[in-house]
Amino acid sequence: MNLDKSKKRIAKKVKMGFKGYPQLSIAYFGDTTETATEVVVTFIAEEGAEPQEQRFVGLSEVREDEVIQSALVKIMERTDAKSVMEMQGVQLKN
């Protein structure tokens, strides 16, 4: 899947807001607030369930990495996520 298509599918799902569970949350992290080198995807199957996390790390901007963005779409599809939340901006790594 190409980068633009992946980004549009993620943005469309995020724009829909909270529609129930299962829920995915996407957060980007980096050494600066300008460049995201890591993305953390958190999956919650149902209310009160233990969250599951998966991390993807890149050498450069992960928001522009076709493989990582395609993987996020595949996770969205496989989990049948009804809600997708995305943290705005890039959080600083600890």
- What is the CATH classification number for the domain harbouring 63? 3.30.720
Supply the pLDDT for residue 69. Answer: 96
- What confidence tens digit (pLDDT) does each residue in 12-36 have? 999 999 999 999 999 999 999 999 9
Strand, coil or helix: what is 37?
A: coil
Q: Can you say whether residue 68 is alpha, beta or left, with left for phi > 0 and alpha for psi between -120 and 50 degrees?
A: alpha
In terms of residue numbers, what domain contains 55?
Answer: 3-92
pTM for this prediction: 0.91
CA distance 10 to 16: 10
| In contact, 40 and 62? CB cutoff 8 Å | no
94: confidence class by pLDDT, cuts 50, 70, 90: confident
Total structural domains in the chain?
1
Would you give the end-to-end CA distance of the chain in angstroms? Answer: 32
Q: What is the pLDDT of residues 58-79, one digit of tens each?
A: 999 999 999 999 999 999 999 9
